[in-house]
Each structure stands twice: as C-alpha cells, then as structure tokens.
Structure 1
Amino acid sequence: MKFYRYWSESKHHIRVAGRDKEIRLLTGSAVSEQDALREAEQQARLIEQRIASGEEKQQYETAIKEFISEQLDDQNVVSVCRYGAKILNSSQYTFYDIDHVRYGLFDFFKGLHKLTPKQRMARHFTDVAKKFPQLGTDFRIYETAKGIRVIGRQYLDPTAASSARIMARLNVDWLYTKLSRKQQCYRARLTPKPFRMKIKTIRVRSPLMCQTDEYRQWDDMYRQAASRYAVVNFVEAIGRDFAQEPVIRYHDDCCQAHSQLKLA
C-alpha cells in the first residue's frame, strides 16, 4: 500500500513527435510539497523518454491518490474519496462489501428462499468461506445499506490471482477487486454517502482540494449530517471475535456499527 502526505499538481512541457505538448501531473511525496514537485519534473522527463522510445507503460503499484486525513499505523490509513466520504485503506485485514448474490436451483432446497436477501448473502459467504481455508476462520459480518460487509482477520494478498477468484465467487464488485489489486490494499467506507443523506455532494478532484476553505466548510456540514446515520450495523462474529483490536474498534466507532441508526 502506497500513500502520500504531500501533493503537487503542476503543468509540464514535453516533446512529442517534434512538437511541444503540455501535460498536467499530480504527484505525491512522503517528504514535502517541494519533493512532490521535483518528482513531477522527473515523471515528465520519463514520460517524454518513454514516448520517444515507444516503450509501453509499465505496471506498478498504484498510489492512493486521495487526501490522507488520518494514519492509524503503517498498514491502515484513512483517506477522503472523490465524493467526500472517509475511507479506511487496510493492508492488515481483508474487507469485502457484497451487494448481491446469485441463486441456483439447489438453493431452494437449502431453504435459502426463506431468508432475507442480506441473510442469503451472509449464508453464501459462510458457504464459500468453508471451501477456501486461506480465508481463515475469523470474520465479522455487518449489514450495509445494500448488502453486507465482511471483515476477515486473515489478510489475503489482493494481488494474487487466487484472491481475485475468491472475490468473484463471493460476488464482490469487479471494480473493487481491480482497485484492491492495483493499490495492494482493501477499502472500507467509514462515513455515509452524501446522496443517501440528501445533502449536497462535493466533487473532490484531487487531494489538494481537501486543503481549501470550500472543502472544510462542506466537511463541517457533512459531519453534522453524518452523525445521524450509520454506515453498517454489526450482525455477528464467526470464529474468534477480534472486535477489540484497535483498527476494528476504530472502524466500528466511525461507522456507528452498534447504534442501530439508519444506514446510509
């Protein structure tokens, strides 16, 4: 998981096929804004060289290009996503948000038709988990607005091909699977979606926006509205409960997981 405290957005001129071309780069640094700017200059030259040589872009770990509002430890950071919600990025725990489940003929004979959709999702998860011991045995299951969230204490490397296959079996959204692989971590939303609270949604175009008065004023209004909603409701623990581990306590507190408030 790669993240940066400092960001720079700058314009640069490069030569492409004998002509000047202006590009805009967003670069990050763990040191300073000046260091981020120097990184941008180096990237501009590398892009110019790559285009001139016909070299294809190499695939590297993608940094979390979001403002870091809090760093819990080296494996867990909280960022601000494009619509202003707070996101836990973790390379310690495995997070799955599941919003649907496929049904087959044999599910009827298992009695799944008697369960609510969210209960079916939870049942489907536990059935699949038994087939993949690498998932571990310790889980926490929560209800979300559309489905369920599962936190696994056993961390599964999201870059592994086997992880992608498991996520597909669990009906995890493929875009989430792709992002987890690129960023080498899992993501879990900690605060409500603005549109579900029927408040103004902000568009966070870059991490730099979170340092503006416009964002701070919006965030004050957002936090007041968010206090009346939960992101998840805790349902059950499977295996050994790890509720008292610091990051899990932080997750549950931010999500108001034990409040029974309306989900958003």
Structure 2
Amino acid sequence: MQIYSYWARTTLAIGNETQGPFLLTAYTGSDESLAAAQAAGQQVLQRRYARLLAAEPLGGDYPAGPAPLREKVEQRLLTPNGELLAALTRNRYGSVVLNTPRVMLLDVDDADLRRPLPSTEPFSLVEFFRKLFAPAGPPALALVPQEQIQLRLAAWLQLHPEWNFRLYRTRLGFRLLVTHRLIDPASPEAQEVFTALRVDTTYVGLCRAQDCYRARLTPKPWRIGFQRPPHPFPYDTAEQLAAQQQWEKQYAVLSQPFSVCHWVGEYGSGQVAAEARQVAELHDAACLGRSELA
C-alpha cells in the first residue's frame, strides 16, 4: 500500500536565451519527514532535467509501478503487532477514503450487474445456480440489481462456503466487505472474486496499482451542494492550509445529513477476523446511520 505521511511539491526552473523559461514540477512522498520528501523531489527533478538534455522521454520516476496517490493521511490504524491495518486519507476532491492492504472491499455498480452475461464469462455457474435456487423465477436479466448481487453471492458461497460478506447499498451500486480472512488484492483468489461478482473494472485497476482496497467514507462534495477544495494537496503556503482547514469544517457540517451507504445484510459463514472486525466497525461508524445517499 503506497501511503505517505509527508508530501512535497518541488520545482526547477530551466531554459536558455532562446527557449524557456520552463518549470519542471515533481510531487514526492516520504514517511520520514517533509525534508526527506523535498530531497526526493530534487533528485527526481535532476533526473528529469538530465533526460531532457539528452532528448529522452521524461517518463515516470517511481521505481515500483504506478505513482502513489497524492493524498493527505488523516489517520493510521495499526494491528496489536504494530503493522499497518488501514489508513484514512483525503482524496483530490475532499472526501475521506478508507485504504486497507488486506481487508477486502469490493465496489459493484448497478450498470455492471445489468449487463448481459457474456458466453465467455469465466464464472459460468451463475445461471446454473439461478435455476437451482429459483426454478420458476424470471430470467437473470430481469432481476433488479440487489437480486443480481445476492444471486452472485449465493453462487459464490456454494463453491466457497467459508467466505463471509457484509453487503451495503451505495448510491449507484453496492459495496462488499469480506470478513472471514485477509486477502491480498493481487492474489489469484482476489481476481476470481472480482470477476465473479462483477466488481467495477476501474476499481479493480486501482486496487492492483495501489496494492490496497479503497472505500469512500464521506460524501462527494457536489452531491451535497458544495464545491471541491480550493487548493490541491500538498499546500504551498500557510494561507492555502488555512483555506483547506476552513473548507473541511464547512464540508463536515454539510455532510451530516448524508450517508455513503446503507446496510443490506450479511451473507456466508459468519466468520469475522479480528482485523476485519476493526475495519468494519470504523467503516460503519463513518458511513451508516443517516438517510440520503451521497
């Protein structure tokens, strides 16, 4: 999971008498200190400048895959052994997001559940179990989204009875929290459940790139009649930080009448790992208890 406590924006002015000036900018993170993040940024800029002089593509500068998400860390949750269990961050449009490296969270959209079943879909037992559980029922495509996701859960649990899911309704679909044990998002098992439950493909790509699962805990600002934050993170001046803090206060007040998801039910073995219980309690305290979804 690529989560940094300190972020810095560093710049390097370049150019000559006939070209420029140009400004190279780098965003770099560190868990050590702000100074360490700034030093890393200077190194990135020097490498970019050298490539520019050599007429080479600038490309990326992160050695381990896609760039980490540039988000302010609001809180870290640790296991009794001191390992990172989860982190709360604030995303680019101001919502608080739960990030967890091994407690599986899944995002399923209504639109994906309504798509026709492709003949090549790897998880091909869904139609079989539909007929098994409701032989006189309507065709799968006529089922409403909640019936579709429950059908897929039933089929999955027939093959994997040890699994346990907490199911939530979101504004445009469903969220699932897997509790029976911890699961790596890059594992073959994770990929199988992504396909079986029709998890949103954009979300799957993000899980793979960031090596963690993510779930938004607070409303999108435009859904509650509010604007996005005034400045991107990290903040360059004390004035920008003060403006952000004022924005967060207003956002918290406006968010009170809204919820990100509603509880639907629990499906499966009932097993709950200690780490999953801690994450579920934090998630539910932040997301549930209010009426309108945002």
TM-score by length of 2: 0.75
2:77 maps to which of 72, 79, 98: 72
Matching of residue 240 in structure 1 with residue 250 in structure 2? no
Output the CA distance in 1 between the equivalents of 2:234 and 2:155. 40
Matched residue, 1:31? 32
Matching of residue 185 in structure 1 with residue 215 in structure 2? no
Match runs of 1:1-264 below 5 Å: 1-12=1-12, 22-48=23-49, 52=54, 59-60=64-65, 62-73=67-78, 74-100=84-110, 101=113, 102-104=115-117, 110=134, 111=137, 112=140, 115-128=143-156, 130-131=158-159, 133=160, 137-153=163-179, 154-160=181-187, 163-202=190-229, 205-208=232-235, 212-238=241-267, 239-240=269-270, 242=272, 245-256=277-288, 259=289, 261-264=291-294
Moved more, 217-226 or 46-55: 46-55
Output the CA distance in 2 between the equivalents of 1:192 and 1:220. 14
Alignment check: 8 A CA contact 1:139 1:241 kept? no
Q: CA deviation at 1:170?
A: 2.3
Alignment check: 8 A CA contact 1:136 1:152 kept? no
Amino acid in structure 2 at the alignment position of 1:263: L
Output the CA distance in 2 between the equivalents of 1:222 and 1:32. 28
Alignment check: 8 A CA contact 2:25 2:45 kept? no
Q: CA deviation at 1:250?
A: 0.7
Output the CA distance in 2 between the equivalents of 1:194 and 1:144. 16
Amino acid in structure 1 at the alignment position of 2:97: I
Moved more, 36-45 or 140-149: 36-45
TM-score by length of 1: 0.83
Output the CA distance in 1 between the equivalents of 2:187 and 2:150. 24
Q: What secondary structure, in the 3-state scheme, does the structure 2 residue paired with 1:218 have?
A: helix
Change (3 A) 1:53 1:184: farther
Output the CA distance in 2 between the equivalents of 1:172 and 1:204. 32
Output the CA distance in 2 between the equivalents of 1:114 and 1:177. 26
Amino acid in structure 2 at the alignment position of 1:70: Q
Amino acid in structure 2 at the alignment position of 1:28: G
How big is each residue's C-alpha offset from its partner over 1:178-201, in whole Å with a ceiling of 9 and x where there is no partner?
Answer: 111111000001011122222223
Q: CA deviation at 1:114?
A: 6.9
Amino acid in structure 2 at the alignment position of 1:38: A
Gaps in structure 2 of 5+ consecutive residues = 79-83, 119-126
Q: CA deviation at 1:162?
A: 5.5
Amino acid in structure 2 at the alignment position of 1:2: Q
Q: What secondary structure, in the 3-state scheme, does the structure 2 residue paired with 1:208 have?
A: coil
How big is each residue's C-alpha offset from its partner over 1:1-55, in whole Å with a ceiling of 9 and x where there is no partner?
Answer: 121111110112579xxx8864100111112111111111222234455664969
Gaps in structure 1 of 5+ consecutive residues = none
Moved more, 119-128 or 42-51: 42-51
Moved more, 194-203 or 67-76: 194-203
RMSD: 3.3
How big is each residue's C-alpha offset from its partner over 1:111-152, in whole Å with a ceiling of 9 and x where there is no partner?
Answer: 356753223223224424545x4x951111111111111011
Change (3 A) 1:189 1:216: same
